[in-house]
Structure 1
């Protein structure tokens, strides 16, 4: 039971994560910070769940953008801010997709 209290795990859940969330991915060694959701990559018609930049450096150039889907997240290191506005935005985004 004590290990449950000491757990630092942040579940990724099923919902899109908020802007500012820092995650690790299956295919990138460095952690990345989400700065966009439901994004289209240039020269690619696919709509990705997220676009992120290297953490802690931030957005360096378009060459360092990382596009990925929710299923590719290995671990949530830090969850971004969740406000009433964030919750309302997610609800509207769900209607569109």
Structure 2
């Protein structure tokens, strides 16, 4: 399995779901619980963004299967190194 956070654009299936989700954001806070940090924000795939209330926040451990990895280049890999540390430190706080 992938270590740390998946890149934006990755398409995954969450445990207990039959609909795929595309990751559109990482290291997110919920408006309902600003102290909680989520690994990802996603939208249904292939439909994409439908409305703010149709977005999902979820964590790595909820991912059952990865169907496609998002785009990765030097910029994304450098960002991943930083964000993996940031999210780990935020969870410890």
Structure 1 and Structure 2 fold alike (TM over 0.5)? yes
Q: CA shift at 1:81, angstroms?
A: 0.7
Normalised TM-score (structure 2): 0.86
Residue by residue over 1:69-94, the C-alpha shift from the partner in whole angstroms, topping out at 9 and shown as x without a partner, is: 00110000111111000000011213
> What is the TM-score with the length of structure 1 in the denominator?
0.82
Tell me which of 20, 28, 37 is aligned to 2:26: 37
Aligned pairs, number: 86
For structure 2, the 5+ residue unaligned runs are: 88-93
Out of 25, 42, 52, the residue aligned to residue 42 of structure 2 is 52
Contact 2:5 2:84 in 1 (8 A): no
CA distance in 2, matches of 1:94, 1:26: 22
Once the two structures are superposed, the pairs formed by residues 1-97 of structure 1 within 5 Å of their partners are: 12-45=1-34, 46-97=36-87
**Structure (1 or 2) with the larger CA radius of gyration:** 1
- Work out the CA distance in 2 between the residues paired with 1:43 and 1:35: 19
Partner of residue 6, structure 1: none
Deviations 1:5-25 (A, max 9, x none): xxxxxxx42220000000000
